[in-house]
Amino acid sequence: MEYFLELFMGGLTRGSIYALIALGYTMVYGIIELINFAHGEIYMIGAFTGLIVAGLLTMLGFPGPAILVIAIVCAIIWAAAYGFTIEKMAYKPLRNAPRLSPLISAIGMSIFLQNYVMLAQTSDFLPFPELIPHFAFIDNMGSILSSAELVIILATVASCVGLTLFIKFTKLGKAMRATAQNRKMAMLVGVNVDMVISATFIIGSSLAAVGGVLIASHIGQINYYIGFIAGIKAFTAAVLGGIGSLPGAMLGGLVLGLTEAFATGYVSSDYEDVFAFLLLVLILIFRPSGIMGREKTQKV
Amino acid sequence: MRVKLSLIALCFVLAAMLAACGGEAKKDEKKDAKADVETGEVAAPTKIVLGVAGAHSGDLASYGLPSANAAKLVAKKINAAGGVNGAMVEVVPQDDQCKPELATNVATKLLSDGVKIVLGHICSGATKAALPIYVDGKIVVMSPSATNPPLTQSGEYPNFFRTIAPDDAQAALEVAFAKSLGLKKIAIIHDKGDYGKGFASFCQQFIDADPEIEVVLFEGVTPGAVDYSAVVQKIKSSGAEGVIFGGYHPEASKIVTGMRKKDMNIPFMSDDGVKDDTFIKVAGKYAEGVYATGPMDFSSNPLYTEAVEAHRAEFGSDPGPFFPEAYSAALALLNAVKVAGGTDYNKLIDALHSSYVDTPVGKIKFDAKGDAEGVGFAVYQVKDGKYMEVK
């Protein structure tokens, strides 16, 4: 039972990270039907920003929790700026082009950002400081759930609740939903579609940056390539949950994380990815639109 | 047209090569004859031919040329000191480009030239292809770089020796060290790569062969995965008393960090992919106490520094890979000729097995299988942010 719980909590942590990144994929897809393959790189850039800021603040002698908060805030601002710029540079000029063009542009952006960070920083792995203090908050339970894992899970839950409330109750959220339903119609009733799309990229990038800093602090190392694998996994999670649906991305992330954890724990870590992608294939066979995805009614 | 041109070029090259070989052979004959006339002796050889086989051209030349340079330096040094039992050493390089089919040609050529000692080959595949010819021709062969374990361990090649430790030596040392720590249950984790998994499999074989110690977990992790918490939990629930990891430092540091954060303070041992300062930098305080095997450090050996200085003086550059091993092999072969008092096959082999020789890789002789004793790996441990050799 303890083993099961340990695996469950490990899977939950991993799933939370996938979910945080998957939200960005799913939001962008929901609004402009584009798979933003550069999203994983935004997560990586968030982590790098966190590293640089944390290094600076440690040098200036800030206390631990303050470093964590300021690093996350800076990572959010910087990653959001990148997300915003990428959309303006790589996707906006192609908004009316055939759907393949922005996809290629996204892949190009992803490779560009990877190489840019590699050249600007280094291709080596860099140590990331432990920003979340390590302590056992329940006696003898440190092996089941560590403080860092708890913070990651809580941050994800808070982000998701916040995002859902934002979409439901704010004016911008309403505009986003309208744009997602029908961009042209939204434009006609006075929604500033460009602003909505920029906002989507900014929110998605911010969430990815939070994930980047938290997981980097948890595992203690980053390099320019971490965004690629995390991005692929998060994209899988988004598709698994039903791309375009916010609760779907959450659920997809958690399901993927738990599947990997249990496959490792009860079968073998050799088969971690095999089971993860087998699950994806199975879901797509039986529910082509994902777990929470809705079948799209053909527009006449 | 292009095909024709290249054909013509090829013909020229072939013709040039043939001419060169022929010329050399003739010259040798003449020299021999002259020497015989002058000294009046027929039995005592006036020169020792040291064949150097390996990749001297092609994309692996950077591995083979340092050996040829090493042989030349050793020959020069020994000749300056009066040769081996009065006979001058002559180095004859032969290029196999690390290709097995060329290696057999090289072996046949050396055999027909009457060469008795060969330094080479460089690559394990080429060595394996050439060895049967050397066995039949009773030629003693010593490789500075072929690490494939069966070359010595199969027992098929009593004439084969090497001055580098075989691939499995590191695993053997790792397992022996784990045993010396008093560990009984070992979890082996690898990164699924050729190097990491190969090392892990050798560790598993050695542990399986030993009744006192057992493998409780053998698994591969996916390099680059977001975290390894599930694997860490699995190590914990397997009841392992120590972890052996085969692979490189990014995965090792993630796993060891995960283990230490979950309060698992069991020994973590790894290979020379982890015996790297980057590992300490990335794993930070969690690197403390980690063991890793790695090649022995020759830099404090005066013979090694002397060989490197000689290379700089002669060729104007730092030596390339396998240079100390090749230098040592040349010394060992020529020392064996000296001890055996000639190039008699059985006497040479006896001499290699029994007499010690001082070389850049230490004072060595060869074990019953042909591996140099005492060459190879050492265990290091991270102490205060540095790898220190465990004595």
Using a 10 angstrom Cβ sphere, with 0-12 exposed, 13-18 middle and 19 or more buried, the burial of residue B272 is middle
Mutation target to probe the A interface, by most A beta carbons within 10 A, among B229, B248, B264 is B229
Residues in chain B, pLDDT under 70: 1-45
Determine whether the interchain pair B221/A269 forms a contact, defined as Cβ–Cβ distance below 8 Å.
yes
Q: Does B239 touch chain A (CB under 8 A)?
A: no
Crossing angle for the helix pair A226-241 and A272-286, to the nearest 10 degrees: 30
Facing B233 at nearest CB: one of A10, A18, A127? A10
CB contact under 8 A, A269 and B233: no
Residues of B in contact with A268 (CB under 8 A): 219-220
Q: List the single residue in A with minimal CA-CA distance to B282.
A: A127
Number of residues that this document lists for chain A: 300
Residues of A in contact with B236 (CB under 8 A): 6, 143
| B231–A125 C-beta distance less than 8 A | no
In the three-class reduction of DSSP (H, G, I as helix; E, B as strand; rest coil), residue A221 is classed as: strand
> What's the CA gap between B331 and B363, in Å, rounded?
11
Query: By the CB < 8 Å criterion, does B229 face chain A?
Result: yes
Which residues on B lie below 8 Å from A265 (Cβ)?
230, 233-234
The predicted structure's pLDDT at residue B74: 94
Q: What region does B284 belong to: left with phi over 0, alpha with psi -120 to 50, or beta? A: left
Determine the pLDDT at residue B342: 87
Residues of A in contact with B231 (CB under 8 A): 264, 269
Tokens for A116?
């840019």
Interface residue B265 vs chain A (CB under 8 A): no
Is the Cβ–Cβ distance between A188 and A19 less than 8 Å?
no
Query: Which residues of chain B are within 8 Å of residue A233 when distances are taken between CB atoms?
Result: 226
ipTM of model: 0.88
The pLDDT of residue B7: 58
Q: Do B262 and A265 touch (CB under 8 A)?
A: no
By the 8 A CB rule, do A51 and A126 touch? yes
Measured between beta carbons, the chain A residues lying within 8 angstroms of B283 are 127, 220-221
* Contact residues, chain B, for A272 at CB < 8 Å: 221-222, 225, 230
Give B287-341 pLDDT, tens digit per residue: 999 999 988 888 888 999 999 999 999 999 888 888 999 999 999 999 999 999 8
The count of other CB atoms within 10 Å of the CB of residue B82 is 10
Q: Enter the tokens of residue A102.
A: 């922005």
pLDDT for position B11: 52
CB contact under 8 A, B278 and A125: yes
| Chain A residue set in contact with B, beta carbons under 8 Å | 3, 6-7, 10-11, 13-14, 17-18, 124-127, 134, 136, 142-143, 146, 148-149, 215, 218-221, 223, 225-226, 228-230, 233, 260-262, 264-265, 268-270, 272-273
Question: What span, in angstroms and rounded, lies between the C-alpha atoms of B353 and B336?
Answer: 9
Interface test with B, best of A219, A223, A224, A225 (most B CBs within 10 A): A219
Out of B230, B254, B263, the one facing A221 most closely (by C-beta) is: B254
Quick check: B226 and A233 CB within 8 A? yes
Q: Smallest CA–CA separation between A26 and chain B, in Å?
A: 20
Distance from CA of A106 to the nearest CA of B (A): 22
B-chain residues near A273 (CB < 8 A): 222
| Subunit contact A273:B222, Cβ cutoff 8 A | yes
Secondary structure of chain B in HEC code, one letter for each residue: CHHHHHHHHHHHHHHHHHHHHHHHHHHHHHHHHHHHHHHCCCCCCCEEEEEEEECCCCCCHHHHHHHHHHHHHHHHHHHHCCCECCEEEEEEEEECCCCHHHHHHHHHHHHHCCCCEEECCCCHHHHHHHHHHHHHHCCEEEECCCCCCHHHHCCCCCCEEECCCCHHHHHHHHHHHHHHCCCCEEEEEECCCHHHHHHHHHHHHHHHCCCCCEEEEEEECCCCCCCCHHHHHHHHHCCCCEEEEECCHHHHHHHHHHHHHCCCCCCEEECCCCCCHHHHHHHHHHHCCCEEEEECCCCCCHHHHHHHHHHHHHHCCCCCCCHHHHHHHHHHHHHHHHHHCCCCHHHHHHHHHHCCEEECCEEECECCCCEECCCCEEEEEEECCEEEECC
> Given an 8 Å threshold on Cβ–Cβ distance, is A127 in contact with B192?
no
| Closest chain B C-alpha to A293 CA, distance in angstroms | 26
Q: What is the pLDDT of residue A136?
A: 67
Contact between chains at B233 and A265 (C-beta distance less than 8 A)? yes
User: What residues in chain A have per-residue pLDDT under 50?
Assistant: 298-300
Residues from chain B that touch A124, judged by Cβ atoms under 8 A, are: 278
Listed residue (A195, A158, A155) closest to A179, CA to CA: A195
pLDDT tens digits for range B86-112? 899 999 999 999 899 999 999 999 999
Closest to B227 (Cβ–Cβ): which among A6, A218, A223?
A218
Among A3, A6, A16, A140, most B C-beta atoms within 10 A, so best to mutate, is A6
